Amino acid sequence: MSDPATPNKATRLERLRRESGMSLYEVGAIVGKSHTTIARYESDPRAGIKQPTLQALARVYKTTPEFIETGQSPESNIAIPDTNYVELPFFTHTAYGTFAANCLDDLPEDYTTMWVLRREGRDYRNARVLEVRGNSMAPRYPHGCCVAVRPVQDGDWQYATGVHAISLRNQMFIIKRITSNQNGILQLSSDSNGEVMTIELGDINCMWKVGEKVYEPGED
């Protein structure tokens, strides 16, 4: 029997996602589509969804392609993602200021979260998810992707190398590659164009090691 509260495919997809507790980013990452495409599926009943994507969405929402297409039972049996997923605090690029301002304190009360697939050997304690803004760290970390970041204790800043998200005392927030770290001076570079900047350890407020991508915008 169909549900009059969800009269078309778009409204069913929106309801299924909301009941799952997952964001547009999370669903897109799992099925290999951008969050804007998932949003279009939820707003346009006429949007064409290819069968592989439809099947992937059905698996995510624990229902059938037939229910998504027609609204006919069996109904979805929604639950939070299984133990293969972990829920992490999530900050879009518009929330960088909030993220940086609270780096030495507890999380703000109104933070959002993202479910990400656990990867073997990764430590998710105190990890966060950040949305990357701009292409300065492309191609590895392109604009719009989301990355897991893990805090670096201040006693270890002098040893840090590789890509890090850094909150500076002058209220700047940057994601750069540490190419040199000697005698309290850090040389930072952008992967895309090799642009270099220099900071001192004393300029740093907080630092996070940038790790694996947990979401990357798909090609539609």
Domain ranges in the chain? 9-70, 85-215
In the predicted model, is pLDDT for residue 216 greater than 50?
A: yes
In order of 62, 106, 154, the CA distances from 97 in angstroms are 37, 15, 20
Whether the Cβ atoms of residue 149 and residue 165 lie closer than 8 Å to each other: yes
**Mean pLDDT for the chain overall:** 87
Q: Which fold has domain 9-70?
A: 434 Repressor (Amino-terminal Domain) (1.10.260)
Whether the Cβ atoms of residue 84 and residue 59 lie closer than 8 Å to each other: no
3-state secondary structure at position 176: strand
Whether the Cβ atoms of residue 188 and residue 174 lie closer than 8 Å to each other: yes
The string of pLDDT tens digits covering residues 119-153 is 889 999 999 999 999 999 999 999 988 899 999 99
| Predicted pLDDT of residue 115 | 77
State the pTM of this model.
0.68
Domain 85-215 has CATH 2.40.10.340: no
| Predicted pLDDT of residue 5 | 53
In the predicted model, is pLDDT for residue 36 greater than 60?
A: yes
85-91/204-215 β-pairing: unpaired
Percent of the chain topping pLDDT 70: 90
Whether the Cβ atoms of residue 210 and residue 175 lie closer than 8 Å to each other: yes
Whether the Cβ atoms of residue 138 and residue 191 lie closer than 8 Å to each other: yes
| Predicted pLDDT of residue 73 | 60
